[in-house]
Amino acid sequence: MPFIEIEFQTDDPRMRELCQLYWEVDGYGKFVHRVADFAEKFGLKAREVAKEVRQHCRAFRADLLCESCGAHVKYLDNRSDVSLGWRSRDWYRYCDTCEDAIQSQEEERRRQQDEILNQQKLEKMQEAFEGGVYESLSLLEFNFLVALATSPNTDVARKKNSAYPRKTLNQSSKS
């Protein structure tokens, strides 16, 4: 059963005790002490305890290590974070640093893919042009096609196109 480890951020023995009482779990992963039972001892209201604990220690699940670098994963903000993590392992796969790195790698990969796709489109247009397919188009039509095909985000172009007829419909229903 997972248990919780604490890194103290204070030398104050009273605050250390508060953190320990807050985060102590039994062999089944259940919290040993009810917050209301010890809050008063520290001159706190029950709802103030979690914030105070957060300021004086960092808590994490001892069994969850980053799959990439082995660091502790996701510090726990409050008790409900713990049960959340026990339910979904995926949420805790990587530490924040590795998560960021993986995300920017993914973005870079997508950007490169887009670039390749755009390049392919350009080449196809070039081929078609050289094959004489577009010779019958006007210059305006041809420029429009080039702009559409080489747009960095053809989804945007598509959305604009689909929004246009809706607008004209609204206008005509008003008049």
The residues binding Zn ion (CB under 5 A) are 66, 68-69, 71, 95, 98
Other Cβ atoms within 10 Å of 139 Cβ, number: 7
Minimum Å distance from CB 111 to Zn ion? 23
Q: Which of 46, 102 has the CB closer to Zn ion?
A: 102
Residues 150/122, Cβ–Cβ less than 8 Å: yes
Judge whether 128 and 134 are in contact, CB under 8 Å.
yes
Give Cα separations from 117 to 125, 134, 148, 152 (angstroms): 12, 21, 13, 10
**Residue whose pair of structure tokens reads 């980053």 in the numeric block:** 66
CB 29 within 8 A of CB 1: yes
Q: Closest approach of Cβ 98 to Zn ion, in Å? A: 3
Output 88 or 172, the one with its CB closest to Zn ion.
88
CB of 101 to Zn ion, least distance (A): 8
Q: Which is nearer to Zn ion, 21 or 95 (CB)?
A: 95
| Residue 56 vs 74, nearer CB to Zn ion | 74
d(CA 86, CA 82): 6
Please, what is the minimum distance in Å from the beta carbon of residue 19 to Zn ion?
24
